[in-house]
Amino acid sequence: MNYENILSKTTNGITTITINRPKKLNALNKATIQELHDAFEAADNDEHTKVIIITGSGEKAFVAGADISEFADFSVEEGGKLAAQGQQLLFNFVENLSTPVIAAVNGFALGGGLELAMACHFRVASNNAKMGLPETSLGVIPGYGGTQRLPQLVGKGRAMEMVMTAGMIDADQALTYGLVNHVVEQDELIPLAEKIASKIMRNSSVAIAEAIKAINANYEDGVNGYDVEIEGFGNCFGTEDFVEGTTAFLEKRKAEFPGK
């Protein structure tokens, strides 16, 4: 597929999606959000893709936020619609993909950029990364899930402070907060994400999909995560991956999962 605002390539089971508007610090305009949706959907449906890595092009930014120039003159209705459509098309969509998604945060991850990183299954960052939700400095609040996912990841008090001050935290503080799992030099960021991806790929993709569903269930209103876990656990017993995984263990060999 041809994209204008992003790049997508698949090598050795990893699809790397790169937001490619470096002159605008990879800000998320409407077209980019649509293209990201399409690229994530294509990768999730691609049997060769076992892990997705998302990053930003250039050395300065992952994503510097939603494109402010697009919504500066919006009405109340248009503002609400912007948030609802974005959440459905990209942020909730990514969170609920059955293929693991790693955000490789390579610079500024602000507003919608941090919200996108937080919608991914986990995050790694380069040591020049700066993260924040600066929306209140623009007279608005985070609208792509930031008020929900930030407290889930860093705790309510830290989230309140970050949103109220509209300030940025650096990579080390993000690591301390648990917002990112690892911090490395910029040139080691993609290799690190790929190294983690290759560890993930050794395991059953069907089991991983069930695990994502069960873990996400913990954060869904009105859903009992333990019940989702029980159902997912049971489902695994009907898969070829389970037969292969347990047989390989008993035969003292490495499992070769068919992913079914």
Catalytic center residues: 115, 135
Closest approach of Cβ 144 to ligand COA, in Å? Answer: 9
Token code pair at residue 132: 């924040």
The nearer residue to ligand COA, 135 or 210, going by C-beta atoms, is 135
Cα 8 from Cα 77, distance rounded (Å): 33
Q: Which residues bind ligand COA (CB under 6 A)?
A: 24-25, 27, 64-69, 108, 110-112, 134-135, 138
Distance (Å, rounded) from C-alpha 60 to C-alpha 231?
Answer: 43
- Residue 177, token pair as written in the block: 């907060």
Any idea how long the chain is? 260
Q: Least separation, in Å, of the C-beta of 120 and ligand COA?
A: 18
Report whether 102 contacts 54 (CB < 8 A).
yes
Amino acid at 88: Q
User: In the bound complex, what is the minimum distance in angstroms from residue 52's beta carbon to ligand COA?
Assistant: 23
H or E element in which residue 246 lies = helix 240-250
Pick 14 or 159: Cβ nearer ligand COA:
159
Contacts of 175 (CB under 8 A, 6+ apart): 125, 181, 182, 183
Closer of 22 and 225 to ligand COA (Cβ)? 22
User: Closer CB to ligand COA, residue 174 or residue 208?
Assistant: 174
Q: What are phi and psi of 228, to 5 degrees?
A: -65, -40
Q: Phi/psi at 142 (nearest 5 deg)?
A: -55, 135
* Alpha carbon distance 122, 211 (integer Å): 14
Q: Please, what is the minimum distance in Å from the beta carbon of residue 134 to ligand COA?
A: 4
115, burial (CB in 10 Å: exposed 0-12, middle 13-18, buried 19+) = buried
User: What's the min distance (Å) between Cβ of 239 and ligand COA?
Assistant: 42
Q: Smaller CB distance to ligand COA: residue 51 or 163? A: 163
Is residue 149 left, alpha or beta, with left meaning phi > 0 and alpha meaning psi from -120 to 50? alpha
